[in-house]
Amino acid sequence: MNLKHSRQRDSILEFLATRKDHPTADTVYMNVRQSFPNISLGTVYRNLTLLADIGEISRIRLGDGVDHFDYDTSPHYHFICSECGGVFDLNMEVTDTLTKAAQENFEGKIEGHVTYFYGRCNNCNPKH
């Protein structure tokens, strides 16, 4: 399974690199279409999946029913706003304390954990 170069794939990756808000496949599609009017949603999905598989990007599942994609593959936490659905990076350390604590009373092998935070983002949180 050798990779060949593809201008569409480049464009998808390039677009993702400009965004900090973890767009969905559809958002990627809408935007990449400006450079490739004939690109299909299928191609976008295929490439996002491929890029995620080879570790160039990461796929984020936040329980909102849609996959988000992140150009930044370094370990970090996410926040999702219950109001507007926006996704933000959190500026905090990633710890394995939780994983260790979980392992203590569990017989299988715990390899990691997924955590995301929810609430109101700065825009949606009413000030008083």
Contact pick of 14, 20, 21, 41 for DNA (by CB under 7 A)? 41
Say how many Å lie between the first and final Cα of the chain, rounded: 58
* 63 binds DNA, rule: CB under 7 A: no
* 7 binds a second copy, rule: CB under 8 A: no
d(CA 91, CA 105): 30
- Which range, of 64-72, 73-81, 93-101, 112-120, touches DNA by CB under 7 A? 64-72
* 85 binds a second copy, rule: CB under 8 A: no
Per the CB < 8 A criterion, the answer to whether 4 and 47 are in contact is no
Q: Which long-range contacts (CB under 8 A, 24 or more apart) does 75-78 make?
A: 77/115, 77/116, 77/117, 78/22, 78/116, 78/117
Q: Based on CB atoms, which residue is closest to DNA, 40 or 115?
A: 40
**Site residues (CB under 8 A) for a second copy?**
61, 63, 77, 79, 81-82, 88, 90-93, 98-99, 101-102, 104-125
